[in-house]
A and B are shown apart, each in its own frame.
Chain A
Amino acid sequence: MSYDRAITVFSPDGHLFQVEYAMEAVRKGSTAVGVRGKDCVVLAVERRALAKLQDPRTIRKIVSVDNRSVLAFAGLTADARVLINKTRVEAQSYRLTCEDAPSVEYLARYIARTQQKYTQRGGVRPFGIATLLAGFSDPSAEGDVAKPVLYQTDPAGTHSNWRAQVIGGRNAKSLREFLEKNYEDDMDEETSVKLAVQCLLEVVDSGAKNMEIMIVRADGRAFMEESAVDVVVKKVEEEIEANKDAKKKSTDE
C-alpha cells in the first residue's frame, strides 16, 4: 500500500470529484449564516436537535481562533476540530513572530491554503468543511477605523470576502438568494441580527433553542442570550404573519 498515491485526481472532464464530494459533506452539515453590518458581524448557526442525554455545551459550532477572530463551520465536526486547532496554533505563531494580531484575512488565507494542500497530497482526503470567519480589520490599516469583515472558505481551498453568506444545509442556495434580496449596506446591529435570524428561520424550526447567535463587535464578541434571541424570533414571525395577512387582504379585495 503506497501512501504517495494521490486520492484527489482529475476526472477526464476536468472535475475533482473528491473535492465535489467534500462539498456534498458540507451540504449535509447544519446551516451557518454570516451577515456583515455597519459596525458588527453576526454569525447565526443552526443548532440541530441533540440526543436527550447529551450535554449541549460540548457541541460548539462557533469558536474562537484568536482574540480577534471567530469561526463558524458547516460539515464534518471532526475535520473542523483539526483545522481549527491548526489555525489557533498559526494565530499564536503569527503573534509570536510578528508581535501583532493576525488579520482575519490572513487566517482565512491560511485555512484556505491548508484546505487546498489536502487536495493535492498523497494519501489524504480533503477537509469536509466550509468555514465562515468573522472579525474586525486592523484600525491602523484603514484610516484608524476598524471595519467588520466576513470571509468564507470551502473544501476546494478558496477564500473570499462576503457581505453576507450561508454555508451548509440543503437549502444554502435559496438562502443565499434570500440574503441577496434583503441585504442592505451599512445595516445597524439590530437589523443585521434580524436578517440573520430571518434567514435561519427559513430552514430551522422556530425557537431560540434551535439557533446559536454570536455578535462580533469592534471591542469584543458575545453570544446572544436565548431570551434576546426569542425576542427577535417573535418579531420576525409577527412580521411574517402580518405580511401574510396583508397579502391575503389584497387577494381578497
Chain B
Amino acid sequence: DAITYHCGALSQRCINSKMDTVFGVKYDGGVVIAADQGNARSILMYQKNLDKVVPLSSHSALGISGPNADLVNFSEYIQKNIALYELSNDGMKLSTHAQANFMRGELAAALRRGPYQVNVLLGGYDAGTESSSLYFLDYMASLQKVNYGCQGHASAFCLSIMDRDWNEGLTEDEAIAIVEHCMKELETRFLIAQPNFIIKVIDKDGVKTAKFGADPADT
C-alpha cells in the first residue's frame, strides 16, 4: 500500500488488513487468548509459526493483530513499561484494568500522529480480587471490557458462535472448546486458510501455552 507525501509530511494509509484472527474467552478463574500463527503481507506468506499472544506481565497476555512492525513494536513497548512500573513500585503488580487503560492511552496519543495499527485482546488475572478480565482494544483506542471477543474478519463468523456458547461460570476446558468451535468455523467458511493457532491460558498460576499448531520456538 502506498506511502504518500502531502505538504511535506508523511502520511500512510491503513495497512491493517484484518486478516489476523485473535480470540478471547473469559471463564471462571481465568482467560483464554488465542491467535492464528500466520505472518503474511499482500501475496507473501512469511511464516506460519508466529506467536501473536505476547505475555505482558506474569499474569496477563496480549493477543495482538496487525502489521508485524506495529505488532512487535507496540507489544514490546507496553511490556517494558509494565516491567518498569513493577520495578519502580517495589514489585506491585499493575492490574489488568490499569494495563488496558495504559495501552489505550498510548494508542490514543499516537492516533493523530502515527497510529499503531494494532487490534488487541488483553486477558489478565488479578490476584487481589481473584478474578480474571478480558479487554477489547482496537487501533482507534476503543476500549471495552468484555466476556468474549474477536479481532479481524473472524469476528464476522465467530462472534455469533461465542454469543451462543458463552455463559457465566465456564471452566477452562469449556472456554478452550468455544475457541476451537470458532476455529472450526473459520476452517470451513473463511477464505484465508489459517492452519495454525496458538492458544494460551491466563489464570492464578500465570500465563501458559495450552496448545499450538506450529512451535513458535525460533521466532
Contact = CB atoms under 8 A, between A and B. Distances in A.
Partners in one complex: yes
Interface of A: 60, 64-67, 85, 88-89, 91-93, 95-96, 99
A88 B87 CA distance: 7
B138 to A, nearest CB: 24
A96 B76 contact: yes
Interface string B77-88: 100110110011
Interface residues of B, number: 10
Contact of A96 (B80, B87, B88, B91): B80
A224 B87 CA distance: 20
Contacts, number: 25
B180 to A, nearest CB: 33
A147 to B, nearest CB: 23
Contacts of B90: 60
B198 to A, nearest CB: 20
Give the 10 A-B CB pairs with smallest separation, nearest first: A92-B84, A92-B80, A96-B80, A88-B87, A88-B88, A64-B87, A95-B80, A92-B83, A96-B76, A88-B84
A93 B81 CA distance: 9
B83 A95 contact: yes
Which of A60, A66, A89, A96 gathers the greatest number of chain B CB atoms within 10 Å?
Answer: A96
A73 to B, nearest CB: 16
Contacts of A60: 90
8 contacts: A67-B83, A67-B87, A88-B84, A92-B87, A93-B80, A96-B76, A96-B77, A96-B80
B93 to A, nearest CB: 14
Contacts of A66: 87
A91 B87 CA distance: 10
Nearest to A95: B80
Contact of A65 (B77, B81, B87): B87
A92 B78 CA distance: 11
Nearest to A66: B87
A82 to B, nearest CB: 12
Contacts of B80: 92-93, 95-96
Nearest to B81: A92
B77 A85 contact: no
A67 B91 CA distance: 11
Contacts of A95: 80, 83
Between B76, B77, B84, the greatest number of chain A beta carbons within 10 A of the residue's beta carbon is seen for: B84
Contacts of B88: 85, 88
A88 B83 CA distance: 10
A95 B87 CA distance: 14
Contacts of B77: 96
Nearest to B82: A92
Contacts of B84: 88-89, 92
A85 B85 CA distance: 10
A88 B82 CA distance: 12
Contacts of B83: 67, 92, 95
B62 to A, nearest CB: 16
A98 to B, nearest CB: 11
Interface in B12-62: none
